[in-house]
Structure 1
Amino acid sequence: MSDFINKLYKNQALFYKVFLYVLTAVLIVYLLPKGGKFKYDIPKGKPWQYENLYAPFDFAILKSDEELKEERNEIKNSHIPYYSYDTLVPSKVKKEALQQVQNVFADSILKSYQKIIDNFVTKTIDKIYEHGLLQESNRLEPDQLVYLLKGNEASEVSYKKIMKQGEVRSFITHEIEAAGFTSFKTELLEVFFNSIEPNVTFNSELTQKDLQSKLDDISYTRGIIEQGSRIIAKGEVVEGNKYNILRSLKAEYESQVWSKSNYNWIIVGYSTLVALALLMLLLFMRKYRPNIFENNVKVTFIFFNIIFMVMLTTLVVNFNIQYVYVVPLCILPLTLKAFFDARLGLFTHVLTVLLLGFIVPNSYEYMFLQIIAGIVTILTVSELYKRANLFISVGQITLVYIISYFAFTIIQEGEIQDVKIEVFLTFLLGGLATLFVQPLIYVYEKIFGMVSDMSLLELSDTNSKLLKELAEKAPGTFHHSLNVANLAEAAANEINANAMLSRVGALYHDIGKMQNPTYFTENQTTSVNSHDELSPRESAQIIIDHVIKGIEIAKKNNLPDRVIDFIRTHHGTTTVYYFYRKEKEANDNTSSLDFRYPGPIPFSKETAILMMCDSVEAASKSLKEPTSVLIDNFVEKIINKQMEEGQFLNSNITFKEIQMVKKILKRKLKNIYHLRIEYPE
């Protein structure tokens, strides 16, 4: 049992990867559509390349988007609006008008004409409210039919029959003149205008409800294809009705309610393909990126980004398929390139696009556009911390999307008129969304504890709190670190290593010397040497401890692990030779192990570069009268000694690259000492 537990403990990293692999595959399969996948591509405007196709089952022919749009517009244009008629207003107005007659007309007139006037007013009001009085101006055509709703009954009337408030004065004037009441015109107008009010209003709620009901009743199909009917023959051009029938068959095939047995087989198929794609990614990392494969945090980060992109695309497709290109898929290679390298970023991007091909329609077009955009992203984006580079890259990505879509549309439709401008807008939105990569990288750094070039740029600022403290407490060490940073950056550029990381690592590699600055020669400003009062062992221990103290200070100030690696490895397992030799002279039995740095030795090109640059720069201060030949021999001697001690065995740096670093260091030191070429006498 204990052996099993020990074995389990030793292989916990592998078990975690297996768990992560299975979990990622399950989540992706869960997000994929579970219908059947239509096995034919539908090449619009091209000959049918497959064998004769017969209907496998009965299905309805779907109407095209243009047909549905035309049908909706026709319903909207022919739709009859509803107007509500208030039946209480006419009787109220009559009562008010008869009262106004009593108030407006003189008693002498009323004695002779009251009954005639009352009858005229009543009849005129009946005419005005026959179809109602509407306050609005003419918003419809005169012959437009409307539904006039009186209580629960709706009658169909012409819009022009409903009197508008602007027509009331002319109508009343005409009625007065026709009845021969011209002498009472002023009084009658006053009676009507003091009592009349609108009683018809536009019923927007009922109108909209009725319109929506008719729109909802639109049939999305026309006609039926019976099982066994020939749909298309080999060589026939896929266009017009043939294209609509094939599109309908595909939609019906993918939306069928599958039996439990079929459903399970579909899940097995999806699981196999997804698992295979993810396995290829793991094998790629294991073979070509072993340092990433061994780091579970980095593997988790990569798988998380794949799940995130699949989930985001699924949400957008379910919301509205037209916005599928708004998803900034190029964020994936951008992010992976920022944290790792371009090759891994492109490989992961391609596998993710292949998985998304199960989700989106027109999968070939989608995959082509996204893979091309991913390649452009990898080729164009360099030094992501420079904002201009990101904007330029986003512009290029958007342009490639637009050109590729334009070409696909011409191939499929055969003419430029069918290019949809709104799709170009989705590409622009997707490009703008890609700019979100910078804050996203910052979030990833905080969550996963990784470091990108943007963070390295911030750390390289010599006005940062930690570097300012180093400059105040140990000015000589700070100056030494600046020189080493310049050398390391130049060497890294020469062998295509990470120059920014090398520079930042060099700036912070000696921060441990802040604890006891005067015990290091570069900070001694007087002839008094602090080591004179200590034994060689004590002095050596103080020198060695600056690595341990540097790691403590770095962790306290939340420096990234990649930067702490430089502090930990910049002396490797070398010996503090000066104090070892001094102790050896006093005690011949002294072991060099007591004077050796704890290590580890450098395990990357960048940390190996720092070890070389640090040793050469520090030792160069001992040169009294440097010459070109002396510097060449000096650099060769120091780096060759490090190679003999096996300090670069774990770093993936080649002999050729070491020679290139030597060449850079020699040239830089000669520039520092302002040496000229020595000519023979």
Structure 2
Amino acid sequence: MNAMRTQSKKKANGSVSRTGAKTVLGSRSVSALRLRLSSDAGGLLALVGVLLALSIMAGLRFERPITIYVAGEIASQDITADEDLLLEEAEATQRKREQVSSAQPPVYDLSHEVVTDLKRRVTTILDQIAQTPTEELERLRWQISESLNSEISSRSLFMWRTDEFRQALTGTILPWLETYFDYGVVGEKRLLLPNRGGIIIRDLGNDQESLKADLQLIRDLGQFRADLEHYLRIDLKKPIRFRRAVEDIIHPMSMPSLTFNREATQSRKREVMEAVEPVYTQIKKGEIIVRQGERVTSDQQLKIQALYTRQKSFFMPMQASGIFIIGFLLLLGLYFSTMEVRTRDLAVRDAVFLGSVFLLFGLMAKVLAVIKTPLAQGIVFANMSPELFPYLLPAAGAMGVLALFFPVVICFFAGLLIAFLCGKLAGGGLELVIFYFISGMFNVFFIKRAQNRIELLSSVFPLMGALLLCWVGVLMLGSPSSAGIWSGTVLVFTCGLLSLLAVLALSPITEHVFGYTSRFKLMELMNLEQPLLQELMVNAPGTYHHSLVVSNMVEAGARAIGANPLLGKVAALYHDIGKLKTPHYFIENQFGCGNKHDKLAPSMSALVLISHAKKGVELAREHKLGPEIVDIIQQHHGTSLITYFYHKAQEQAESRGEEAVREEDYRYPGPKPQTKEAGLILLADVIEASSRTLVDPTPSRLKGHIQKLIRTIFTEGQLDESELTLKDLHLLTDAFLRILTGIFHNRIEYPGDKAESQSSQSGSKPVAPPMYPMHQ
């Protein structure tokens, strides 16, 4: 249409074609959006109220609290997990921790003070012996024996007094002893052997730690005594008396340099035990913990208790809030989608209807969610898994009902909202939402293509195929259990039948309550037995015949340019029903009687002609023909000028010397055609009426006449707000020509007719063509 607008001319009175009236969504400003939302505030508030109610409903939980059974009791009902849950196994966790604890190496402290203390005590004893007189030695011997807790012989005591012993002990034996104990000596090595992971030696001198894995290399006091004996006898080659003297002073004071640190060991064990991850048993959603009639085990009791503690409250505010927020964003998307060029705005009636559909199917989804909970355990479903019940919801039927009355773009966003709300209300996940949405969009496509109720009934078969394919996809995602494949398939086919029944049941109710017009209602209105058409045929036969011809022209034109032929044909049949109020004021109904306009002022004649559009709207609303037909009746003359009476009024005003006639008083109030169908009817209406004035309407004359009228109407700007393009106008010329050529085709003139024609011509004057078109 932009190409048309660039070629259109400005009218003489200064009116300009509305080049920017219909643009893409991106060219609309934010202020326009605000005005739009404010104008639709009532409908939007109604939808928000429905959304809020459904969100609260989704947050409600009707599940009965889980009954706790003690181990040994007989379960009186099935206990099924309603969510995925990780249950800690206390015994297995404790065993794992004990295993890790036992593998933790014990901590032993390596002290160098043991040798230092031994050297100090040995030096003290030797000094005492050296300073004690001979007569006091016996007394000293007993004192030292008491101190060492070991009886010291007189031979050893006298050996200790010798310089040879002192030098060997302090110069050779004690340094060897220091080196020996610095490596680490324990009390009894047999106590270390159970620690297969080794031991941790912590050097108290420098606070460094080392792991000794080979415990056989660690020495104890017993091995120390043997090694000391071997050192004295083999390495130092000392006699037995010397060796006994060394052993008598060293052995009583020998202490382990490696001592077990119990506190540090226990602390390390506690740390590694705390670091051990608990052992969990995974409970899957839908898993049966215990079946009715089974004896409960201790493990099952723990699982039941865990499920009981995880039971949510009666109302989940977070879930309800999340559903409301996402639903509200989808609702705004629905309103934004209506700003597209070819999509009609959502009126309050539309919003109320959408809200009713959301509420109805949302309630059905919640009922299915309640059925699959323990509340329905008394109902027998042939061993069918309750998780499959939501797939029975005919969400595709809801979207199919919308497809009867709304364009695809509105069905898309409304269907997305229905799928989301019903999926959450039914307690399903993403797979269920996708199943609802895809199956619903398939149903929208099938119903949009159905031209009659037989085709609508036949659409159930491809719908079932689409549902089955969606079901296979859900199975591959792994949502339901594989055991429910066949029962789920039965539910899916049942869902298809219920969707068809929903469309058949709700469509007539919707048409009656909300006044919508579906294609099936259009087919009923096309029946020539309709009361309005019957009245038109009896009281205004010329208008009736004119409407029939226009309807054929519009149907042919609509098929040529891709418009809605059914809507165009039906609207063309009813576009002039307003003439029923004053049929004889229109020339096509004046059969042999005088023209009533000859006695009226031009202004009154114009009012009579203009009023038929308004009266037609009133009759259409009274008989509930639907808003689409009402709009076309109102727009089928646009704002065109009633030329004959306008010029007649101008001539009378000039002859009387009166003021100039206002052109606005002789124009139809409009609006201009807003759709292709309305533009088609405007063109066909004018072309059909004016073609009756043609003398010898040959195909070439008809074609030139049609092109001239289309060019005139286009130049006046009557088609600026429609969706017709230059290509459409070219195609319409051929379509209209084909229909009119069939009506005005030449007939064979029989001999009797020829004589009668000559007699008529000789006895009467020729009839001049009317001064204004038959039809205005």
TM-score (norm 1): 0.63
Structure 2 match to 1:642: 713
Q: For residues 265 and 622 of structure 1, do their structure 2 counterparts lie closer, same or farther at Cα, with a shift above 3 Å needed?
A: same
Greater C-alpha Rg:
2
Aligned partners of 1:303 and 1:579: how far apart in 2?
A: 50
Question: What is the identity, as a one-letter code, of the residue corresponding to 2:677?
Answer: E
Whole-angstrom CA distance in 2 between matches of 1:398 and 1:254:
41
Relative to structure 1, the CA distance from residue 636 to residue 308 in structure 2 (aligned partners, 3 Å threshold; closer, same or farther) is same
Identify the residue that residue 495 of structure 2 maps to in structure 1: 430
Q: 2:560·2:731 contact (CA, 8 Å) conserved in 1?
A: yes
What letter matches 1:373 in structure 2?
S
Cα distance, 1:28 vs. partner? 2.2
Matched, 1:314 2:379: no
Moved more, 472-481 or 551-560: 551-560
Alpha-carbon distance in 2 for matches of 1:666, 1:277: 48
Shift of the alpha carbon at 1:474?
Answer: 1.0
Residue 411 of structure 1: how far off its partner (Å): 6.7
> Counterpart of 1:435 in 2: which secondary structure?
helix
Cα pair 2:68 2:308 within 8 Å, conserved: no
Amino acid at match of 1:31: M
Q: 1:372 to 1:627 in 2, by over 3 A?
A: same
Cα RMSD, aligned residues only:
3.8
Picking from 296, 300, 310, the partner of 1:256 is 310
Q: Which amino acid in structure 1 is aligned with residue 500 of structure 2?
A: L
Report the counterpart of residue 440 of structure 2 in structure 1.
Answer: 374
Task: Work out whether 1:629 is the aligned partner of 2:700.
Answer: yes
1:336 is aligned to 2:389: no
Residue identity over aligned pairs, in percent, reads 27
Q: Is the 8 A contact 1:628 1:675 kept in 2?
A: no
Instruction: Identify unmatched segments of 5+ residues in structure 2.
Output: 1-33, 94-279, 290-302, 373-385, 655-659, 748-776
**Which digits, 9 at most, give the CA deviation of each residue in 1:172-200, with x for residues without a partner?**
xxxxxxxxxxxxxxxxxxxxxxxxxxxxx
- Aligned partners of 1:384, 1:587: CA distance in 2, in Å? 57
How much has 1:558 moved relative to structure 2? 3.5
Letter in 1 for 2:508: Y
Is the CA contact 2:451–2:519 (under 8 Å) kept in the aligned structure 1? yes
Q: Which amino acid aligns with 1:282?
A: Y
Instruction: Kindly indicate whether residue 391 of structure 2 is the aligned counterpart of residue 325 of structure 1.
Output: yes
The alpha-carbon distance between structure 1 residues 405 and 552, as it changes in their structure 2 partners (threshold 3 A), is: closer
1:521 maps to which residue?
587
Give distance in 1, aligned partners of 2:37 and 2:472.
52
Residues 1:25 and 2:73 aligned together: no
Matched position secondary structure for 1:381: helix
> Cα offset for 1:272?
2.2
1:41-61 CA distances to partner (integer Å, 9 max, x unpaired)? xxxxxxxxxxxxxxxxxx999
Partner residue in 1 for 2:12? none
Change (3 A) 1:650 1:30: same
**Could you tell me which of 545, 569, 577 is aligned with 2:635?**
569
CA distance in 2, matches of 1:557, 1:393: 31
Work out whether 1:535 is the aligned partner of 2:601: yes
- The higher relative CO (CA closer than 8 Å, separation ≥ 6) is in 2
- Other-structure match for 1:503: 569
Contact 1:333 1:342 in 2 (8 A): no
- Residue 282 of structure 1 corresponds to 335
Aligned residue identity for 1:277 = L
Counterpart position of 2:16: none
- Aligned residue type for 1:427: V
SS in 1 for 2:338: helix
Contact 1:456–1:500 (8 Å) recurs in 2: yes
In 1, Cα distance between the equivalents of 2:390 and 2:529?
Answer: 45
Gap change, CA 1:287 and 1:341, over 3 Å in 2: closer
Give the AA of the match of 1:501.
Answer: L
Read off the aligned partner of 2:357 and give its amino acid letter. Answer: N
In 2, the alpha carbon distance for the partners of 1:257 and 1:225 equals 14
Secondary structure of the corresponding residue to residue 738 of structure 2: helix
Are the structure 2 counterparts of residues 253 and 543 from structure 1 closer, same or farther at C-alpha, using a change threshold of 3 Å? Answer: farther
The alpha-carbon distance between structure 1 residues 370 and 602, as it changes in their structure 2 partners (threshold 3 A), is same
656-665 or 430-439: bigger deviation: 656-665
Distance 1:374 1:525, change over 3 A: same
Question: 2: distance between equivalents of 1:255 and 1:284?
Answer: 46
1:358-437 → structure 2 map (5 Å cutoff) = 358-360=424-426, 363-382=429-448, 384=450, 386-406=452-472, 408-409=474-475, 412=478, 418=483, 420-436=485-501, 437=503
| Equivalent residue in structure 2 for 1:13, among 39, 47, 52 | 39
SS in 2 for 1:395: helix
How far has the Cα of 1:622 moved from its partner? Answer: 0.9
Please give the alpha-carbon distance, in whole angstroms, between the structure 1 residues aligned to 2:356 and 2:45. 13
Aligned to 1:226: 88
Cα separation, partners in 2 of 1:673 and 1:254, compared to 1, 3 Å: farther
Instruction: Say which SS state the counterpart of residue 652 (structure 1) adopts.
Output: coil
Q: Which amino acid is 2:353 matched to? A: F
- Is the CA contact (8 Å cut-off) linking 1:460 and 1:504 kept in structure 2? yes
In 2, the alpha carbon distance for the partners of 1:267 and 1:218 equals 29
Give the partner amino acid of 1:32. Answer: A
Contact 1:453–1:500 under 8 Å retained in 2: yes
User: Could you say what secondary structure the match of 2:516 adopts?
Assistant: coil
CA contact (8 A) 2:390 2:428 kept: no
> 3-state DSSP class of the match of 1:216?
coil
Amino acid across the alignment from 1:299: A
In structure 1, distance between residues paired with 2:595 and 2:614: 23
Deviation at 1:650? 2.7
CA distance in 2, matches of 1:458, 1:604: 22
Residue 631 of structure 1 deviates from its aligned partner by 2.0
- Give the C-alpha shift of residue 624 in structure 1: 0.9
Question: Counterpart of 1:450?
Answer: 516
Q: Is the 8 A contact 1:573 1:599 kept in 2?
A: yes
Within 1, Cα distance between the matches of 2:344 and 2:308? 43
Match of residue 545 from structure 1: 611
* Contact 2:87-2:281 within 8 A present in 1 as well: no
Q: Which residue of 1 aligns with 2:545?
A: 479
Q: 2 CA distance for matches of 1:590 and 1:662?
A: 35
Question: Residue 587 of structure 1 is aligned with which of 645, 653, 663?
Answer: 653
Write the distance in 2 (CA, Å) between the matches of 1:11 and 1:273.
19
Amino acid at match of 2:351: V
Q: Which residue of structure 2 aligns with residue 303 of structure 1?
A: 355
| Cα distance between partner residues in 2 of 1:516 and 1:462 | 21
CA apart distance, 1:458: 1.3
CA contact (8 A) 1:492 1:606 kept: yes
Which of 684, 704, 710 is residue 613 of structure 1 equivalent to? 684
* Higher mean displacement: 488-497 or 535-544: 535-544
Structure 1 contact 337–378 (Cα < 8 Å) conserved: yes
The answer to whether the Cα contact below 8 Å between 1:332 and 1:345 also exists between their aligned partners in 2 is no
Q: Which moved more, 1:470-479 or 1:350-359?
A: 350-359
CA distance in 2, matches of 1:220, 1:517: 76
For residues 478 and 255 of structure 1, do their structure 2 counterparts lie closer, same or farther at Cα, with a shift above 3 Å needed?
farther
Q: Any unmatched runs of 5+ in structure 1? A: 1-7, 36-58, 63-212, 231-240, 677-681
The alpha carbon displacement at 1:348 in A equals 2.0
Query: TM-score normalised to the size of structure 2?
Result: 0.56
Give the aligned residue type for 2:493.
L
Alignment partner for residue 461 of structure 1, among 527, 531, 548?
A: 527
Quick one: distance in 1 between partners of 2:647 and 2:711? 20
Q: How many Å separate the matches in 2 of 1:648 and 1:256?
A: 66
Alpha-carbon distance, 1:503 to partner: 1.3
Letter in 1 for 2:697: P
CA distance in 2, matches of 1:242, 1:530: 95
**In 2 relative to 1, CA 646–256 (structure 1 residues): closer, same or farther, beyond 3 Å?**
farther
Change (3 A) 1:218 1:611: closer
Distance 1:300 1:218 in 2: 43
Greater displacement, 445-454 / 544-553: 544-553
**Match of 1:571, SS?**
coil
Checking the alignment, whether the CA contact within 8 Å between 2:419 and 2:437 is kept in structure 1 is yes
Q: CA deviation at 1:506?
A: 0.8
Of the structure 1 ranges 10-19 and 658-667, higher mean CA displacement relative to structure 2 is found in 10-19
For residues 301 and 413 of structure 1, what CA distance do their matches in structure 2 show? 33
- Whether the aligned pair in 2 keeps the contact of 1:285 and 1:292 (CA below 8 Å) is yes
